[in-house]
Structure 1
Amino acid sequence: MPGSRQLVLTVDQSGRGDHRRIQDAIDAAPANDDSAGSVVIRIKPGVYREKVVVDKPCITLVGTSASSTVITWNESWVAAESPTVSVLASDFIAKRLTFQNTFGTSGPAVAMRVAGDRAAFYGCRFVSFQDTLLDDTGRHYYRGCYIEGGTDFVFGNGKALFDKCHLRSTSLVGGAFTAHKRSSELEDTGFSFVGCKLTGLGVGTSILGRPWGPYSRVVVALSYMSSTVRPEGWDDWSDPAKQRTAFYGQYQCYGEGSKTDGRVAWSHDLSQAEAAPFITKVWVGGQEWLR
């Protein structure tokens, strides 16, 4: 991360901090460049009903606990400004926070959009129904996070590693955990889930993913899959041509939903060598930027 100096700001709804709103703290932070230090914004427990846009690099948001520190909004996804929280700048970190969109089940509603490079999330919760987490562009790392939704609830064209995360499908029929967008072989993007838990409300309600873009790429490794995961595992989104270009694989998963004998023929049961590029922090270049 650039710089070594650190400015600490406190957000407290009771007025005992530097700011009452999270956005006010971000707006008050210096506009960083490579010579500046990082800004840590400590957020006291509370339900913060506000939209947040992180448009400066080297910002860290730290909650007390994800269950007690909640950023929430209620809006369908109709514009770039619709998500509850949008991270547009690089070198962002979030710890112990819940990002929520309470719009419901009638359409897409993004809780978090990550569109900056080198973003890391630790012990966070992402909660909505359709299109919960827009992992849009850049390299991202999620560790020990909880992500909830029913349809395409991890989506976008980012390059992300989900490490020991819990994905919970709330779909009762026709659900999908992911919809990765990669639209060309030249794009070095994809989602990798390692040591994760994939669970849900019902039996056989959700597929692991479907291709938003023709070269969609998702790997699930060393993870537990409950019976929520449908036997076929993946879907071509009614476009058989995408079967030739999408890359969907799993490696050494376990649980009722992990059985590979019913998987679509065009998905991959990976060998150790095939899985290796996807299952460490090297996947997102993390050895260079993760602290």
Structure 2
Amino acid sequence: MKLPVICLCFSFAVFAWSQDPSAKPKQPADPGFEIKGMRCFSDSIINKAEVGKSGFKVEIGGSIGTRSGPGSELSDFTFPENQQKQYFIFDFGPQGAEKMITAKLKAMRTTAGAGLSIVEVSGKTDKEGKLPAEWNLKKNWPVGFFKVFFTCEGQPVGTAGYLVKATKDREAPIKATGVTILSFKDGKSTEKTGLTTSDNDLVFKCATTGGNTKGVPVRMFIGQIDDKGEKSILKNSEITVEDWPLEDTELVYSFELPDKFPAGKYHMVIYANNEMLIAHPFTVAEE
């Protein structure tokens, strides 16, 4: 039995869906189990005699009889960035045996970005409740913290997190190269330079160069300027992400108001490693 192999690509996407308001959604039944543990493995060249030592069942093709496969166990749940194939065994226990599990991988704080949905895949556990899996990326992985979210028949059955670390820490001055503002309406985005009061669902994208793969604090907020020139932080707009590994990372900030955006003068302010990267000015005009 081959491991499920997923080739990943990173993108930022927005999805919209509709639902019949007359339909009453059914509440999924409690699956009665959750993930019990996770094992991570290094990548190594194995032969037929070594197959199964780590609990995987791997078919080896080719006349040579060798291929890349799971090696030693990584007890610290940390992969090197240049291990392009990441091997796992997710254990849901006897109560989770022969269940269809959906696993959704997210990059929580990485050099590729934060809170990014990477891939979603489903597979059936074996008679012991174990689910082997392999993520495969054809280049070095982004450095940072990843988390897998598991569901069974729509109900959450736990999460598991792991790290990807740089083979050698890299550090360079972090600089912002520009900010793009997107306004979302009805699931569609429009790039804007000036906003109106109806633009209350926004995404700010800030391109950067340099970084620190060890991780730095990142602080983002919307600053407002009143009629007297006094500066303040717009209510509920401030977020801080600790220990965010950066390397030419696009910083993405989302902000949504329940009602209209108050007219006035503003700045999108971003700090990294306790230093201001940018204070991008924008104006919100009455519609």
The question of a shared fold, defined as TM-score above 0.5 by the shorter chain, is answered with no
TM range (shorter): under 0.3
Higher helix share: 1
TM-score, normalisation: structure 1: 0.23
Structure richer in strand, relative to its length:
2
Taking structure 2 as the reference length, the TM-score comes to: 0.23
Larger C-alpha radius of gyration, 1 or 2?
A: 2
